[in-house]
Structure 1
Amino acid sequence: MSDEKYIMSSLSNALDILDLLSKRNNIGVMDISKEMGISKSSIFKMLYTLEAKGFVRKDYDAKYSLGMKFLEYGFNILNNQSIVEVVMPHIKEIRDRHNETTHLGVIDEDLNVFFMIKESSNASIQMASQIGKKMPYYATAVGKVLISDNLSDELIDRVRKSQFIAFTENTITDSEKFLEHLKMVKKDGYASDMQEYEIGLTCFAMGIKNYTGKTVAAISISGPTDRMTENKKTLLSTLKAQTDNISRELGHILK
């Protein structure tokens, strides 16, 4: 049982409204007020806020039901679960074939990159990454792929307003140069981190598309710069084959 002193009553009431709507669709303010024992004015304010955020919708009769936001969240959960299940054997195959550390990476709404899966190399020199650790999009191959494949006017504006930190002397720290760099990433179909996050380590990444054609994640392969540079052609060939296979399994129709 949770400690009651930490529960916010207004948030708890809003969640109770959502729970009620999940069981009884298309009900009005008065019915919700009677059901919950809360004033109509308070119920109206909570519903107005929930509607503005997409969690509920109001019909022409001023009746409320759950909004499309929940469907969006549901698809996101299903997509993430299915991606992990589909990707795991491919990640292991890449690691086993090249003995280099391989990741499944995604990007969040704040443009932080983090890894959902990591299969480590058994070589003495490898990338010291962690599952769930936030990483900068502009200094990682995964971030570059995911930004370039989903670039919009809004995203371009966010990139221009970003604070770029130099992790190494190779890190791109100018937003306009970074946006130009993304054009090359888009054209080439893959991204590189050439000692931009950590000196001595290089990373290549390619995107994974779902059934809608959206790039929802990326696979990266990382290792010492000399090995990665020497084997670049073979590594990119493997990444291309495996990301295409994963995209097919997620329902994407390759052109």
Structure 2
Amino acid sequence: MEEKNPIQVADRLFGVVEFLAERESSGLMEIATALELNKSTAHRILTSLQYMGYVRQTEEGKYVLTMKIVELSGKVMSRFDIIGLVRPHLKSLMELTGETVHFVKRDGNEAIYIDKVEARSNTIQMVSHIGSRIPLYCSGVGKAMAATFSPDEVRRMWKESDIKKLTPNTITDYLDFEDTLARIREEGYAIDDEENQLGVRCVAADLSAPGKSAEYALSISAPVSRMDDTRLLKLADYMIKTRNEILEAIRPIL
């Protein structure tokens, strides 16, 4: 059963913020209709957000988010000292492989992209961007982290996830998922074999202290045309080496 926010006004207020975050600008009626609010309620919410500095109106009368959201995001991200420690390694890995490198943090049953170093020669549009989320069950980074979970944690994550076949390669059978995690533990890295986005393969590894469930992971992503099985194994070697270097740098804060 879907949980409801116990404070309805907060649910509506942040619903407007999230709606505006997906668009350059929106009119009052568009917002009200999309969020199933009456016009006066939507107007009160927008007026409140304007007063607090989160929203402004354009000359055309449409509503847009201000940079205050970005300022808040920057303050939160500044607390993640781990990003500053990891980024040089991400850059080095991108230079070494010529492919896009991601760094994620676990948030429940999803991973959030908290840093990304884009390849200079990308020939395919990656769906990832900093702040976007990806399910654990169908991503390289997610499976790399899940391989460090206890059996109970894995079962709970699977049960609470909305398991969907996003591509023909997405694993949707729990026993197959368990087998995949066992292989990851043995080999030391995970693979996203076009399971989340067709045309893209990833090699990933967790960043965790011994005996702890991983909260972070990194990956190398590339078009399938540049990542056949032979190159995948080579990139996996680079991944494991980089993972070990990063762990040396961040171990005190894990």
Check whether TM > 0.5.
yes
Normalised by the size of structure 1, how large is the TM-score? 0.63
Q: Are the equivalent residues in 2 in contact too, given 1:104–1:219 (CA < 8 A)?
A: yes
Equivalent residue in structure 2 for 1:117, among 108, 112, 115:
115
- Which secondary structure does the structure 2 equivalent of 1:138 belong to? coil
Q: Are the equivalent residues in 2 in contact too, given 1:208–1:217 (CA < 8 A)?
A: yes
Q: Are the equivalent residues in 2 in contact too, given 1:105–1:116 (CA < 8 A)?
A: yes
- Residues in 2 aligned to 1:160 and 1:147: alpha-carbon distance in whole angstroms: 13
Q: How far is 1:215 from its partner?
A: 2.7
User: Structure 1: which 5+ runs fail to align?
Assistant: 1-5, 8-76
Of 126-135 and 208-217, more deviation after overlay is shown by 208-217
Q: Are the equivalent residues in 2 in contact too, given 1:95–1:102 (CA < 8 A)?
A: yes
User: Structure 2: which 5+ runs fail to align?
Assistant: 1-8, 11-75
Q: Which residue of structure 2 aligns with residue 246 of structure 1? A: 246
Q: How far is 1:166 from its partner?
A: 1.0
Q: Which residue of structure 2 aligns with residue 102 of structure 1? A: 101
Q: Are the equivalent residues in 2 in contact too, given 1:148–1:185 (CA < 8 A)?
A: yes
Q: Which residue of structure 1 aligns with residue 145 of structure 2? A: 146
- Residues in 1 aligned to 2:212 and 2:110: alpha-carbon distance in whole angstroms: 22
Q: How far is 1:234 from its partner?
A: 2.2
Q: Which residue of structure 2 aligns with residue 45 of structure 1? A: none
Please give the root-mean-square deviation of Cα atoms over the aligned residues, in Å. Answer: 2.5
What pairs up with 1:177-216 in 2 under 5 angstroms? 177-210=176-209, 214-216=213-215
Q: Alpha carbons of 1:158 and 1:205: their partners in 2 closer, same or farther (altered >3 Å)?
A: closer
Instruction: Note the alpha carbon deviations across 1:102-153, whole angstroms, 9 max, x for none.
Output: 00012112x1111110001122424231111111111110000111112341
Q: Are the equivalent residues in 1 in contact too, given 2:146–2:214 (CA < 8 A)?
A: no
Q: How many residues are matched?
A: 177
- Which secondary structure does the structure 1 equivalent of 2:227 belong to? helix
Q: Alpha carbons of 1:209 and 1:161: their partners in 2 closer, same or farther (altered >3 Å)?
A: closer
Displaced runs of 4+ in structure 1, greater than 3 A? Answer: 210-214
What pairs up with 1:39-188 in 2 under 5 angstroms? 81-109=80-108, 111-126=109-124, 127-188=126-187
- Residues in 1 aligned to 2:117 and 2:209: alpha-carbon distance in whole angstroms: 22
Identity of aligned residues (%): 27
Q: How far is 1:158 from its partner?
A: 3.5
* Pair member with larger Rg: 1
Q: Are the equivalent residues in 2 in contact too, given 1:166–1:172 (CA < 8 A)?
A: yes
- Residues in 2 aligned to 1:219 and 1:158: alpha-carbon distance in whole angstroms: 20
Q: How far is 1:201 from its partner?
A: 0.7
- Which secondary structure does the structure 1 equivalent of 2:184 belong to? helix
- Which secondary structure does the structure 1 equivalent of 2:251 belong to? coil
